[in-house]
Structure 1
């Protein structure tokens, strides 16, 4: 919980009262590699803080898994569309490594909003950061070559290469594993 509180302080300084009640609302989860946080067709009812480990969000498309994001330490993760709308998720979230997460239900989060309005502001800031990452991902996919996307990955998040299987990275970049191998060979 200390890591979560420290991370929240980087977004926005909460009152002491708000910080003191947060542990009452979060549940610690320790899950093994390959476990799913959410599967397609299920409603996502929790927002998670990833304390340790990594995971991926992916879609099933024509019997292929299309990885569209990765989560690492200090990320907030969820199936955002499902969590916000309470509609069934169209994505799967799978642990790539064993993970330690802190979970809060949507109902609990809204209770916190009502009790401590600064938490609502904090969550809005977290959503803004998520939206910016989503827009950057969209722009990269539309306007950059596969080689440029891979180079950006190496520059911005080089730890991915050590922690994520190359097949997932290729799917994330929107290329085949063979194309990724060729790009890596040239660099």
Structure 2
């Protein structure tokens, strides 16, 4: 089993810490459309995407609304549910065949107890998550449709290639027709 390079940019943890954490990971080979987390259920795992991509969405008034996209090298979970141990508002599914590693909530807590240094790493992951969430909120509220699409092209160009037009339009908070008009003018 190929182990992910989760700590390649984090030098503050020892080899023992890395090895213990990695020993708790479970490898998942998922086909397109595989549900990592399901709305209404408590999120049990924190996932690391080694290969592939995923999207987070919820259903409102029979509309599928994409909240976020995650790519290789990123962590994904229904964060509110994972932290609070309450049912999730969102569903997370793979956009393509993907290789993921997951750690259960309980195993993660065990890692923190045994190696408190890991809490700092986890905090860094949460900070990245929070920044992305805040940027998305600003992104959707204050930018034009064209600006939102251009920013997606700049920050996550792989999404343009991997996600469906409907998922991209939903994420950008526009109709497929508006997205088509924006694309035609670029």
**TM-score interval (norm. to shorter):** over 0.9
Q: Which residue of 2 aligns with 1:58?
A: 57
Question: Following the alignment from structure 1 to structure 2, what is the Cα–Cα distance between the partners of residues 25 and 124?
Answer: 19
Cross-structure match for 1:151: 150
Aligned pair count reads 186
> Aligned residue for 1:24?
23
Which residue is equivalent to 2:104? 105
Query: What corresponds to 2:80 in structure 1?
Result: 81
User: 1:154: how far off?
Assistant: 1.1
* Structure 2: 5+ residue stretches without partners: none
TM normalised by structure 1 equals 0.95
TM score, norm. by length of structure 2: 0.96
Counterpart contact for 1:56–1:69, Cα < 8 Å = yes
Question: Structure 1 residues 184, 3: CA separation in 2 closer, same or farther (over 3 Å shift)?
Answer: farther
**1:81/1:141 CA distance change after superposition, 3 Å:** same
1:66/1:12 Cα in 2 relative to 1: closer, same or farther (>3 Å)? Answer: farther
Q: CA deviation at 1:11?
A: 3.5
* Cα contact 2:51–2:72 (8 A) shared by 1: yes
1:8 is paired with a residue of what secondary structure?
coil
TM-aligned CA deviation for residue 13 of structure 1: 2.7
Q: 5+ residue gaps in structure 1? A: none
Q: Which residue matches 1:133?
A: 132
What SS class does the counterpart of residue 41 from structure 1 fall into?
Answer: coil
> Aligned Cα RMSD in Å?
1.3
Where is the helix percentage greater, Structure 1 or Structure 2? 1
Partner of 1:9, secondary structure, is coil
